[in-house]
Amino acid sequence: MKGKLRKTMQGGSARRFDDRQDAQTRGLLLVIGAALLAAGVVQAVTDLRMPVRIEAKEFVYENVRVILPIFVERGPVNVNTDGLEALVRLHGIGEVLAARIIADREEHGPFSSLDELDRVSGVGPETINGLRDHATVGPSDQ
């Protein structure tokens, strides 16, 4: 029955369809269907897994909420040795204030305690209290 004629919807003209092409098309559709079914099964199985709980610490930085996973947590920032990039990670310290801290420590020497940061213009008691858990002046923080 190779090469039988079938009528198409295009103006009633006859068009030849090879039975072998029909079988290949059906086979291809069967393979695609099996692949889609397998993908659906894989998706269903992965949805059944228990969600992984990641402990995270929440920070609020200038009206932006950022949640950092605990494994990303860095040690305290040393205001006497760390650079601008590390200082701006501190809550309440922007690029301008970080530059002032660096300029002050270069001009007047290292800070002996976090309370001495009040000598920097723009740093007050509220900012210093916010830094206590995240900043240090050295190995023996006073």
Q: Provide the residue ranges of all domains of the chain, joining segments of one domain with +.
A: 5-48, 56-136
Q: pLDDT band at residue 109, thresholds of 50, 70 and 90? A: very high
Residue 79 has pLDDT above 70, yes or no: yes
Spatial contact of 74 and 85, defined as CB atoms under 8 Å apart = no
* pLDDT (average), residues 11-35: 72
In the prediction, which pLDDT does 138 show?
Answer: 84
**Fold observed for domain 56-136:** DNA polymerase; domain 1 (1.10.150)
Min mean pLDDT across 5-9, 41-45, 97-101 is at 5-9
Rounded to whole angstroms, what are the CA distances from 18 to 12, 13, 23, 25, 32? Answer: 19, 16, 9, 11, 21
How high is the pLDDT of residue 33? 83
